[in-house]
């Protein structure tokens, strides 16, 4: 592995970049999302644990070298005046091509998820990001003393001890959209709820105070756990490929009973690990009753997942903070 990385580093160091065409060829070969540097990082999971420190350090050095060579060559080319192509000398020449942006990786991932749900017959529902306590907590079967109601977990816009004044929060999940949908629609309901959510969490490579969710809700007569399981498996195979290794295990959420969590195997067969990607379950009858749905007549399932987690696994990104830094060098990899 080390010899392969050193060979890649040598190829980057000796690559000839004298024209804009060669600069673009360098970017595509080494720095694009399907380039050799990104592919190199995807192999880190197969490296024995005791060797990962040395291998990871060399990988980062290689990535930094590639980015440095690209930035340096780009600056040189931008500051070089080609007299023959100067617009002031020959006004018949076409103008330079405009720099074309690209969709943010989170936007691309969310669109991929929406397309899968469209194929499965789901529509899209949206709701407010500032929510009241009833729709964000109470209707979803959260008990009064649940930790999520504390200020160290939730951003409160307005919090009052007066029972006549309703608390307002930045929604902690898109589940309130499910409640509002059930309050205003008659089953059958088959919809997803994408959107931004907020948690009072410390910023780290694995967590952020803002992230995106996609939740799904299906309500009809005779909806069963088998329907939930089949839908989950279909989604995960369409997202990650038919050969994806997955497992379903019991979980707990206040608003579903029974509850299931879905993990996928990430990495090599020997050195990979199970990663949770979503929580799901059958809608609790209390949630139906709070939303005005007859729980004796209808059943349903729901699940929720973080778009960032899906995107991180899809593209091999190791730090959630990079999604929000607007670093052009990061975003250019997703052209």
- Confidence (pLDDT) at 264: 92
Cα separation values, 31 from 58, 127, 323, Å: 16, 38, 17
Strand partners, 314: none
- Confidence (pLDDT) at 42: 82
What's the mean pLDDT in 34-44? Answer: 85
The vertex-275 CA angle with 127 and 108, nearest 5°, equals 45
DSSP string for residues in 113-126:
HHHHHHHTT-EE--
Separation of first and last alpha carbons in the chain: 29
* In the chain, where the domains are located: 2-98, 105-330
The vertex-5 CA angle with 2 and 9, nearest 5°, equals 135
- Confidence (pLDDT) at 296: 95
**Distance (Å, whole) CA 186 – CA 220:** 9
**Distance (Å, whole) CA 279 – CA 269:** 24
Whether cis (ω within 30° of 0) applies to the bond prior to 107 is no
What's the mean pLDDT in 192-217? Answer: 94
pLDDT digits (tens, 9 = 90+) for 40-94: 878 877 888 788 788 888 888 888 999 999 999 998 888 875 545 554 567 788 8
> In which band, very low, low, confident or very high, does the pLDDT at 7 lie, cut at 50, 70 and 90?
confident
Question: Rg (Cα) of the chain, in Å, rounded?
Answer: 25
- Confidence (pLDDT) at 83: 46
pLDDT for residue 282 is more than 70:
yes
What's the mean pLDDT in 301-307? Answer: 96
pLDDT digits (tens, 9 = 90+) for 226-281: 999 999 999 999 998 999 999 999 999 999 999 999 999 987 888 888 999 999 99
DSSP string for residues in 147-190:
GGGSTTTS-EEE--S-TTS--EEE-SSSHHHHHHHHHH-PSPEE
> Closest Cα to residue 44, out of 268, 230, 220, 213?
268
How many CB atoms neighbour CB 163 within 10 A?
A: 6
> Closest Cα to residue 143, out of 238, 241, 255?
255
pTM above 0.75, yes or no: no
Backbone φ, ψ for residue 131 (5° rounding): -120, 160
Pick 105-330's CATH classification: 1.10.10.10, 1.10.3210.10, 3.40.50.720, 3.30.930.10.
Answer: 3.30.930.10
What's the mean pLDDT in 151-155? Answer: 86
> In which band, very low, low, confident or very high, does the pLDDT at 1 lie, cut at 50, 70 and 90?
confident
pLDDT digits (tens, 9 = 90+) for 136-145: 999 999 988 8
pLDDT for residue 220 is more than 50:
yes
For residue 5 the two structure tokens come to 């990385």
Torsion of CA 321, 213, 255, 219, to 10 degrees: -170
> In which band, very low, low, confident or very high, does the pLDDT at 221 lie, cut at 50, 70 and 90?
very high
């Amino acid at each position: 592995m080390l010899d392969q990385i050193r060979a890649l580093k040598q190829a980057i160091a000796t690559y000839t970049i004298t024209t804009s065409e060669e600069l673009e060829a360098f970017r595509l070969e080494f720095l694009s999302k399907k380039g050799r540097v990104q592919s190199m990082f995807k192999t880190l999971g197969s490296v024995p644990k005791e060797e990962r420190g040395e291998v990871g350090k060399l990988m980062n050095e290689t990535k930094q070298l590639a980015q440095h060579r690209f930035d340096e060559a780009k600056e040189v080319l931008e500051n070089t005046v080609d007299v023959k192509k100067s617009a002031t000398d020959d006004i018949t020449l076409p103008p330079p091509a405009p720099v074309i942006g690209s969709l943010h990786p989170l936007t691309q991932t969310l669109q991929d998820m929406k397309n899968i749900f469209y194929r499965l017959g789901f529509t899209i529902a949206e709701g407010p990001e500032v929510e009241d306590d009833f729709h964000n907590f109470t209707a979803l079967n959260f008990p009064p003393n649940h930790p999520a109601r504390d200020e160290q977990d939730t951003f409160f816009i307005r919090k009052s001890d007066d029972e006549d004044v309703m608390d307002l929060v930045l929604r902690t999940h898109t589940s309130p959209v499910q409640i509002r949908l059930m309050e205003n629609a008659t089953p059958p309901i088959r919809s997803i709820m994408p959107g931004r959510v907020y948690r009072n969490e410390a910023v780290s490579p694995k967590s952020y105070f803002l992230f995106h969710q996609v939740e799904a809700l299906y309500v009809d007569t005779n909806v069963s756990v088998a329907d939930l399981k089949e839908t989950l498996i279909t989604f995960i195979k369409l997202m990650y490929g038919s050969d994806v290794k997955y497992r379903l295990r019991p979980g707990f959420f206040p608003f579903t009973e029974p509850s299931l969590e879905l993990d996928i195997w990430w990495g090599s067969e020997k050195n990979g690990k199970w990663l949770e990607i979503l929580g799901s379950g059958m809608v609790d009858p209390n949630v139906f009753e709070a939303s005005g749905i007859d729980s004796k007549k209808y059943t349903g399932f729901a699940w929720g997942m973080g778009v960032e987690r899906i995107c991180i696994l899809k593209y091999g990104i190791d730090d959630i903070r990079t999604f929000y830094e607007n670093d052009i060098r990061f975003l250019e990899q997703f052209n």
